[in-house]
Chains A and B, each alone.
Chain A
């Protein structure tokens, strides 16, 4: 009784808060402050056709570094708490077997999905999406492969090296920005190039490709750990 009363009280207070937010909301008709600066000068300063990427990788590049670090920490903590041992390596997952349809279609689809992920993070400065999205798409291809073949062996060494190297390159590009251009993660260490082409926007395609590889490797690492935790006998 008391519990239901408290729940309804909480819901009512949420309704009150959101109603006040809704009533007090007046949409802005024009941008002001820093948003106006991004919208007006972003294309000229950064040279990226996708303004979101210009903000995420260059203006707010330090936040992106923080996000990648949080993802790395998540993967490490999951590995720490799952307590996988060497003895688990030789065990197999007992399952009911996958359907023929899933096995065949995953053979066809996995390379295409990985290619799409690479497309998304390489064209991050031109089309919607970028490093995080591309990496997540690559990891979902790995997830599909695991679904089709639950005992699939994922090479841990490759994941480890890809993740480490791309993390180091990401930070090195940022430090190069301090030395050669305006500041940490400045993209003007490379020529801006023709606006709207693949090799434009300075260092953004390179930085975003490495972010994509790092995110893809980290999420695949999490998947690999969970897959190993299912092994028995």
Chain B
């Protein structure tokens, strides 16, 4: 029961942060928000007894993807400045 409560709380929180990622005007905030959504979904995978998927999601989804997005964002800013 406590797991269901925690899982639904995290699901709701990631829903809110996902909405923030769509609505925010600053691109860097949106990128960080997508990273946080990935981190929360990795916790959800862990609660659903899939630790290997959680590991992949945490390292690729929230770590590497965020870094690559920031590299691309930096490149775009340089081109348009």
Contact = CB atoms under 8 A, between A and B. Distances in A.
A147 B67 contact: yes
Interface string A203-233: 0000000000000000100110011011010
20 contacts: A120-B55, A128-B51, A128-B52, A129-B51, A129-B52, A130-B52, A133-B52, A136-B55, A136-B56, A137-B59, A139-B59, A139-B64, A140-B64, A143-B64, A147-B67, A226-B68, A226-B72, A229-B75, A230-B75, A232-B78
B24 interface: no
Interface in A121-137: 128-130, 132-133, 136-137
B63 interface: yes
B71 interface: yes
B75 A223 contact: no
A133 B56 contact: yes
B48 interface: no
A140 B52 contact: no
B68 A222 contact: yes
Interface residues of A, number: 22
B79 to A, nearest CB: 11
Instruction: Bin the interface of chain B by size.
Output: 10 to 19
Q: Dominant SS at the B interface?
A: helix
Interface in A32-57: 52
A52 B52 CA distance: 9
B74 interface: yes
B42 to A, nearest CB: 11
Interface in B26-81: 51-52, 55-56, 59-60, 63-64, 67-68, 71-72, 74-75, 78
Contacts of B74: 230
A137 B63 CA distance: 9
B60 A136 contact: yes
Given A132-B56, A139-B59, A230-B75, 20 more contacts: A52-B52, A130-B52, A133-B55, A133-B59, A136-B56, A137-B59, A140-B59, A140-B63, A143-B63, A143-B64, A143-B67, A219-B60, A223-B64, A223-B67, A226-B67, A226-B68, A226-B71, A226-B72, A227-B71, A229-B71
A110 B78 CA distance: 30
B81 to A, nearest CB: 12
A230 B71 contact: yes
Contacts of A140: 59, 63-64
